[in-house]
Amino acid sequence: MTPTSLSQDTNPSELLARLQDLFREWDLFDRPLTLTHRGQEYLVRCDAHSFAIYRLNPHYHVPPGAPGWPVYLVTAEMAVDEACAPHLEEDEFAADLALQDWLNLIKKTLGK
C-alpha cells in the first residue's frame, strides 16, 4: 500500500484499518516514532485503537498539553486533523501538513 492511496475523506474505520496495514508494512505498528518538522518534534504512533500524531511540548512542565497535544487523530469512529487550521493563517501551533504530507514525512524519515 502506498501513502497516496489514503485520504481523510475515507470512512474513519476504513482509514484506520488502512493506516494500520501501512504501519505493519513499515514495521512501525504499535511502535512510537519521533520526527521533526519545522524545528518541532512530533510523536507518531499507530496501534490497534488509533493512529495519532502529537506535537511534543519542548517545555513539558508548561501547559498547553504537557507533554504534548494531538495534531492528528484517527479512530474507528472519527478522523480529526488539528494540524492545519485554514482559518488561522498565523497559528504558531499549526503544522501545515495534511495526512498525505505526514505519511510522506514518515516514509522519508524511515528511508523508504
Which residues, 6+ apart, have CB-to-CB distance to 32 below 8 Å?
43, 44, 45
List the one residue out of 17, 14, 44 whose CA is nearest residue 32: 44
Is the overall model pTM greater than 0.95, yes or no? no
State the pairing for strand pair 40-46/33-37: antiparallel
Determine whether 4 is exposed, middle or buried from the number of CB atoms within 10 Å of its CB (0-12, 13-18, 19+).
exposed
Q: Could you tell me the mean pLDDT of each successive run of 10 residues in the chain, 112 residues long?
A: 61 95 96 91 95 84 68 90 56 68 92 79
pLDDT at 57: 80
pLDDT at 6: 64
